Amino acid sequence: MSETPAAKPPEEPKGPGLCGQFLKDHGIATTRLPDSCGVETIEIDGAHLEAAMKLLRGSSEIKLDYLVAVSGVDSADTFDSVYQLWSYSNNNELIIKVRVKKTDVVEGQLPLVPSLARFWSAANWHERETYDLVGIRYYGHPYLRRILNVWDWDGHPLRRDYKQLVDALNDKAPGSFR
Amino acid sequence: MATDTEVDLTPRLKTDEMLINMGPQHPATHGVLRLILTLDGEIVRHTEPILGHLHRAQEWQGQNRTWFQYQALIDRVDYLSGMFTSWAMARAAEVVDGCEVPERAEYLRVMVSEMNRITSHLLWLGTYLIDLGAMFGFPFYPFREREKLLELFEEIAGQRMMFNYIRIGGVMRNPKDAWLSKLKKFTEEFPDRVDEYEAIVTENPIFLKRTKGVGILRKELGMDYGITGPSIRASGVNIDLRRTKPYSVYPKLKFDVPVNDRDGDTFDRYIFRIREMRQSNEIIKQCLDMLPQGEISGKKQIAGLRVKAGEGFAAVESPRGTLGCYIISNGSDRAYRIKWRNPSFCNLSILPELLKNHPIADVMAIFGSIDVILPDVDR
Amino acid sequence: MRNGAEILKLGTLTITWWCIIFGAVWIACYLVGVALPMMLSSYDSDMARMTAETLKALTPILSVLVFIPINAMFMVLIERRALAIFTVRLGPNRVGPDGYLQTAADAVKLLFKEDITPHGADAFMFTLAPIVFFAPSIFGAMPLLAAVTNYHELFQIVNLPTGIFFILAASSVPVVGIVMGGWASNNKYSLVGGLRSAAQAISYEIPLVLSLVTICLLAGSLDVVQIAKQQSGGILNWNILGGGALRGLDAALALKFSNSAASLQQLSAMSPEQVIKSSYVEPTMAALGLAAGQESMATIIAVIAVLVLIGATFIAYGLYMTGACAEINRIPFDLPEAESELVSGYNTEYSGIKFAIFFLAEFTNLFIVASIAAVMFLGGGDCPVPAWLGNALGGPQLASVINQVLNPLIQIKLVDPPTLFAAIWVILKVYSIVFFAVLIRGTLPRFRIDQLMDFGWKRLIPLSLIVFLLVVFAREFVNVHVGS
Amino acid sequence: MAEGNVQASNEVPDELKDTVTLTSLEKMIEAMGDLLSPLVSPIANAARSNSVWPLTFGTSCCAIEMMSVGMSKFDISRFGSEVFRATPRQADMIITAGTITRKMAPALITLYEQLPEPKYVIAMGACTVTGGMFNDSYSVVQGVDRIIPVDIYLPGCPPRPEGILDALLKLQQKIRTESYSERKKKKYRQNAVRYVDYDTGRPLEDLIDEARYETALALDPLKSLQENK
């Protein structure tokens, strides 16, 4: 259960893709990750996320104006915040990842990623959900509260080290069903 | 009083806002949504949706069940269109795995999921009329057609609602010829039935009064919130993955995607669903004619089903909008992470904006019109 | 064809239930109002006479008390069965023979159910509300009794010279009960429901009353018995068709159909124009001050006036039905208990017997507004077949045959044929209105509160005022019921 | 019956309970006690069993089948149960159609307690019988009998509408075997606080506190249970 994704076969580092080049032109550094199933995937530093998103959304040629989803992933040594970007008007696609190293996270605190909810309403509930389930704190979010679980829930269920609450309502151990 | 020279201008009658708690148990919240409405008289000033009353940890299940087990579970993500949830995950897994899907399977997938779109819209139509207060009478008619389709589903998949029919790599079962002819018969009857609904509903003056000009969704606002599906097409955004990001055999099929030319209101969202049902019926007809012979699964359906390592995102156009699935696989028999992008979840987030300054009776009209399924929201 | 069989079953059910209801009321009234006083009359003492008189006076009350619960149970059942037929279902058919006792089971169950007063509710008001809601439908129905039983002597006691005012006053009381219940429940849905109900009742009372006032104007009376009497003699005399404006036509046709030589001679001497003239021309001439040579002009005006009157009364009937639907909270005006918005509206917190009373009263109110419509617009207990046509078709012979058959019963005063026929006609009329209301319930969605107000104040009230004015002017040119 | 699972420790104070007033008929029957019970039982049972009004309570997939059962093809109205009441005060039975999660549990308890006696529960679907396919999810209640007493278990995911009809008939049979006075004595203990005061007129910012309050309610029965252990 706690296996990490198998290491990818090392790919040749390609040059920046369409969106990576566009961001580079506007002075935002990105790292190109291996394409996920043919979709350009870039890693970006949290500090530049908001600026990059504004650029990508506003530009007329890229026009990635459709934020499909924000996901949180508890990877082997990082917490990833993954943004799927599409466009309403053309066929561009982009996946942006913001990675926070687990070693950088202060003990007892949550990893921090800037929030997009202030200027992109679609991000609002997705970020709340990711905060709820994976435990990534989106700073600058107007209303960052748990959305699916009750408000004073302990822990973040989709973390690999989550210990399930056992009580009168739910006392069978996970996996006992199978 | 003589000493009082100033006139008291403060209003004598103090009015107060009233908080009303709607749900989680309420006949019109389609299950278990809870809305905390701030009312000024009967006008809604602020809405606070509270979700998660049906949070069944589908994503957590995805990490803890094998692929084969999880396939059976995901119909429950959106129980009115189980074919689409299955298909979204199957597509994502196929994209990651790189396995081929036989053409016959693709046609069957299109067929059953369009059938499922019809059942979903039919149920929506019935419940929407209940929301508008037609408690008896009309709501029963869409169910009549829905039952016919459910019988067909039962014949091909063994279940009325939780089909588990579309599997990673293909579909589960080959339909018999009798089934295909029954379906053909249904497609021939169905347009007449839709005419019947339209005759009862579309020309009903009270229905028109209740829906026209209510809950206008501006195009830009909808795009800002990431709304998809008929709700945004009724507001003039042309996003239908079957056409804009074509998948499966949709490019080979002839059908229109109805798109509005103005900001849509509740009535537009109704009429566009009706039109979509007609289009779906056309698609099924074409599929029946074009259905090729051949294999139906490109992957062996065994308990130890594995998906190659990698990550990928794939989406299908469900009756409610873009239904996406983001998979990270590490090559083992279960997923490392599965994230669902549910159309209802995103569409629901616009509800507070739409409800603002509408009377409380319109809460149902608007909430019903964006067609939200609660397990699709809460997972 | 299965649907046909279902409809047949529904018909059987209806007739059986009618027999049960009327049998019960009939026997109760007979025992208390006729049989016991007759027995007592053999004792020649003041005490016996006084008791007999008291019993007679109590009969109307007793009849209503027996009638209302059984009738409401039947109405609930017929509504459920009819809605089931509209939606291709079967409806309750398990309890008793073919489900005849379904609502009786419901009633008994509700009687045995726990009766809850919610925490924080005003217990006194909470208990009082259903009573306030239900009581007016009992005493409000009283003045109608004489009108629907062909002025039977037993029910003359409860007749009032200003009966329709009394009925209207009584029918506006239930809303107080709704507001009381809504307020006392300590529940916001109830409160909103109660307030909606008050607003709705105030708006829709006006067209309702105006449409009835229009009829009173045509009838020249506020006495429901008087109004019902005026309409006797067939459908052409009913208030829904101009309030007596067609009496001239009726009279001419009667002449034509009567086979006596004198009338035939009289008829053949008249041109069609004269037929019309015979009933209206004089008042018209007087009103317009026309000379003798301008008769054709007067005739045209009279015909126009008749058409206007027919249209106006017909619209008044529509207005009355709309207002009544709103008054008793039926779909599409069921906002006070809007199930998909306010859970159950004003009765959200009511359970057990109190809820049963609300339920009962709702259906009783429907029955009462339908009977008002039957008496005021549809001729009360009058047979829709005009008298001359009935005579031509052999009505008197039929009546005499029936009289002979029923003779033993008539002898002991168990049956009074005119009352019997009047009751049957009233029931047919009332239940066709009830059935129409059920049909509407199975068809229409609900209004929104602001649209409801809009509809009420901007459409119905002006329309009802226009109708009223039209009638005021048009009746000057025609011989309507007034003064007859 | 799983009444034992419902803990008495957080019983509602009397002043918060709904008042139950008996009708004079019931008072009479109660006064006569067990004597009258054999006479009343058949009448009461026949009436109760033939008019079981369900509450419109549906959380997920099963709710759709519950709707189907009221529709033309299956037609629950034949058994007099098509009167789906939206308010618990007027219903006799809850069909727990769909998964009950921890967040939903307090609402369901409240609903159950708002039903007037006699009240019945049909646990519909695998999720409410045992937790079903979501049995080991962190957020799912493993069987609705952990929070309210259940009369009929109806397995299936979701059960077919015929299954619901069967469950209803079984429930009717069960009701017919009851004794009136026994049923009166068997009182369910109130546990949940009925009036979660969402709307005390506080400003919306305070909703946070209110939601915390609700959360506390959701978890309270559990905490108290652990303390007892």
Domains of chain B: 57-350 (1.10.645.10)
Mean pLDDT of the C292-298 span: 62
C151 and C54 in a single domain? The answer is no
Asked whether residue C46 falls in the same domain as residue C87, the answer is yes
Report residue C45 as tokens: 């003492």
pLDDT digits (tens, 9 = 90+) for B107-164: 988 999 999 999 999 988 888 888 887 777 677 888 888 888 898 888 888 888 888 8
Q: Which of C394, C149, C146, C379 is nearest to C246 (CA)?
A: C379
In degrees and rounded to multiples of 5, residue C416 shows phi and psi of -120, 105
Question: What is the spatial distance between Cα C131 and Cα C109, in angstroms, rounded to a whole number?
Answer: 20
Cβ–Cβ of B51/A175 closer than 8 Å? no
For residue B220, CA distances in Å to A61, B28, B81, B244 come to 18, 28, 28, 19
Distance between CA atoms of C140 and C230, rounded to whole angstroms? 22
Identity at D171, one-letter amino acid code: L
Stretch among B175-179, C259-263, C411-415, C472-476 having the lowest mean pLDDT: C259-263
In a domain, C235, yes or no: yes
Boundary of a domain, candidates C88, C112, C136: C112
Q: Which residues contact A112 (CB under 8 A, 6 or more apart)?
A: A46, A100, A136, A137, A138, A139
**In one letter, which amino acid is B315?**
A
Instruction: Find the CB nearest B31 among D60, D111, D138.
Output: D60
Q: Which helix (H) or strand (E) holds A85?
A: strand A78-86
In chain A, what residues touch B60 (CB-CB under 8 Å)? 133, 157-158
- Is domain D3-11+22-194 in CATH 3.40.50.12280, yes or no? yes
Cα–Cα distances in angstroms (integers) from residue C353 to residues C107, C389, D24, in the given order: 9, 50, 11
Rounded alpha-carbon distances, angstroms, from residue C139 to C62, C65, C135, C161: 11, 10, 7, 16
* pLDDT at residue C17 in the model: 86
Q: Are residues C210 and C98 in the same domain?
A: no
Contact A68 B96 (CB under 8 A): no
Give tens-digit pLDDT for C201-256: 888 888 988 998 888 888 888 888 888 888 887 788 888 887 777 776 777 777 77
DSSP state of D189: P
What is the sign, positive or negative, of the torsion defined by CA atoms of C62, C63, C64, C67? positive
pLDDT of residue C259: 64
3-state secondary structure of C476: helix
Residues of C with CB under 8 A from a CB of D: 80, 84, 87-95, 99, 102, 104-109, 111-120, 123, 127, 188, 339, 343-344, 347-353, 355
B154-173 pLDDT per residue, tens:
888 888 888 888 888 888 88
Q: What is the pLDDT along chain D (229 residues), one digit of tens a residue?
A: 233 333 333 555 565 666 676 667 777 777 776 777 788 888 888 888 888 899 888 888 888 888 888 888 888 888 888 888 888 888 889 988 888 888 888 778 778 878 887 888 999 888 888 888 888 888 888 888 878 888 899 888 888 889 999 999 999 998 888 887 777 776 655 554 433 333 333 333 344 445 445 444 444 444 433 443 3
CA distance to partner chain D, nearest, from residue C356 (Å): 9
Write the residue in D18, D25, D199 that is nearest to C116 by C-beta: D18
Tell the residue number behind the tokens 């809604």, with chain if given.
B44
Task: Answer yes or no: do C53 and C132 share one domain.
Answer: no
Q: Catalogue the long-range contacts made by C62-66 (C-beta closer than 8 Å, 24 or more residues apart).
A: C62/C28, C62/C29, C62/C32, C62/C33, C63/C25, C63/C28, C63/C29, C63/C145, C63/C155, C64/C138, C64/C141, C64/C142, C64/C145, C65/C138, C66/C24, C66/C25, C66/C28
Q: How far is D67 from chain A (nearest CA, A)?
A: 26
Best probe of the A interface among D5, D139, D220, D228, by most A CBs < 10 A, is D139
C318-344 per-residue burial string, b: 16 or more CB within 10 A, e: under 16: bbbbbbbbbbbbbbbbbbbbbbbbbbb
Q: What are phi and psi of D226, to 5 degrees?
A: -65, -40
Task: Using CB atoms, pick whichever of B18, B27, B134 lies closest to residue C444.
Answer: B134
User: In this structure, how many other beta carbons lie within 10 angstroms of the beta carbon of residue D34?
Assistant: 11
Final residue belonging to a domain, choices C112, C135, C160: C112
User: Would you state the pLDDT for residue C295?
Assistant: 62
Task: Take residue B62 and report the two structure tokens written for it.
Answer: 């995805």
Do both C370 and C224 map to the same domain?
Answer: yes
- Which of A149, A167, A175 is nearest residue D226 as measured by Cβ atoms? A167
CA distance B127 to B146: 13
Contacts of B160 in chain D (CB under 8 A): 65, 158, 160
CB contact under 8 A, B57 and D138: yes
Residues of D with Cβ-Cβ distance to B24 under 8 angstroms = 104, 107
Residue A9 DSSP label: P
Element (H, E) at A4: none
- Please state the pTM of the whole predicted model: 0.85
Q: Kindly determine whether residue B161 and residue D138, on different chains, have CB atoms separated by under 8 Å.
A: no
Estimate to the nearest angstrom the gap between the alpha carbon of B270 and the chain centroid. Answer: 13
Residue C425 sits in the same domain as residue C286: yes
**Alpha carbon distance C46, C122 (integer Å):** 49
Select the residue from B54, B149, B153, B159 to test the D interface by mutation, using most D Cβ atoms within 10 A: B54
Interface touch D48/C112, C-beta < 8 Å:
yes
Q: By three-state DSSP, how is residue A81 classified?
A: strand
DSSP B66: B
DSSP structure class, residue C31:
I
User: What residue of A is the nearest CA neighbor of B59?
Assistant: A158
Note whether D77 and D164 are within 8 A (CB).
no
In terms of DSSP bridges, do strands B166-167 and A66-74 run parallel, antiparallel, or are they unpaired?
Answer: unpaired
C484 is a domain residue: no
Min Cα–Cα distance to chain A from B31, Å: 15
Instruction: Verify whether the Cβ–Cβ distance D147 to A165 is below 8 Å.
Output: no
- Shared domain for C425 and C400, answered yes or no, is yes
**Residues whose CB is less than 8 angstroms from the CB of residue B274 and which lie 6 or more positions away in sequence, other chains included:** B121, B125, B194, B197, B198, B202
Residue D118 to residue D122: CA distance in whole angstroms? 14
Backbone angles phi, psi at B334, to 5 degrees: -135, 160
D63 and B31: CB-CB below 8 Å? yes
Q: Residue D80: is it exposed, middle or buried by C-beta count within 10 angstroms (0-12/13-18/19+)?
A: buried
Q: At what angle do helices C295-327 and C417-441 cross, to 10 degrees?
A: 70
Mark yes or no for CB contact D136/A173 under 8 Å.
yes
Mean pLDDT score of chain A, rounded to an integer?
79
Domain ranges in chain D? 3-11+22-194
Has residue C483 been placed in a domain? Answer: no
C443 in any annotated domain: yes
**Whole-angstrom Cα Rg for chain A:** 18
Contacts of B132 in chain C (CB under 8 A): 340, 445-446
Q: Of B319, B316, B127, nearest to B230 (Cα)?
A: B319
Chain A touched by B25 (CB under 8 Å): no
CA proximity to A117, closest of A129, A133, A135, A99: A129
Choose among D99, D136, D198: nearest Cβ to B19. D198
Count up the domains in chain C and report the number: 2
Task: Give yes or no: residues C290 and C332 share one domain.
Answer: yes
* B52–A1 CB contact, under 8 Å: no
**Helix C188-219 and helix C163-171, axial crossing angle in degrees, nearest 10:** 170
Could you tell me which of C93, C71, C368, C343 has the C-alpha nearest to residue B135? C343
Q: What is the pLDDT of residue A3?
A: 43
Compare CB distances from C188 to B20, B138, B364 and report the shortest one's residue: B20
Contact B137 C332 (CB under 8 A): no
Same domain, C248 and C379: yes
Position B249 scores a pLDDT of: 87
Contact flag for B and A (3+ C-beta pairs < 8 Å): yes
ipTM: 0.85
pLDDT at C462: 92
Which of C64, C95, C112 corresponds to the end of one domain?
C112
Q: DSSP letters of C321-350?
A: HHHHHHHTT-TTS-GGG-HHHHTTGGGTT-
Interface of A with D in 152-171 (CB under 8 A): 152-153, 157, 162, 164-165, 167-171
Indicate if C134 and C98 belong to the same structural domain. Answer: no
Nearest CA among B272, B266, B292, B273 for reference residue B363: B266
Same domain as C191, residue C288: yes
Question: What is the mean predicted confidence (pLDDT) over C414-426?
Answer: 82
How many distinct helices (H) and strands (E) make up chain B? 15, 8
Residues C39 and C124 in one domain: no
C329 assigned to some structural domain: yes
Interface chains of chain B (3 or more CB pairs under 8 Å): A, C, D
pLDDT (average), residues C267-291:
57
Buried b (16+ CB within 10 A) or exposed e, D177-197: ebbbbebbeeeeebbbbbeee
Which residue range is the domain that position C441 belongs to? 119-477
Q: Above 50 in pLDDT, residue A174?
A: yes
Residue type, C348: T
Residue A91 amino acid letter: N
Which chain B residues contact residue D104 at CB under 8 A? Answer: 24, 32, 53-54
> What does the alpha-carbon distance between residue D54 and residue B267 come to, in Å, rounded to a whole number?
32
**Nearest 10 degrees: Cα torsion A42, A48, A51, A54:** 30
**What's residue B6's pLDDT?**
52
Nearest chain C residue to D197, by CA:
C187
pLDDT at B10: 52
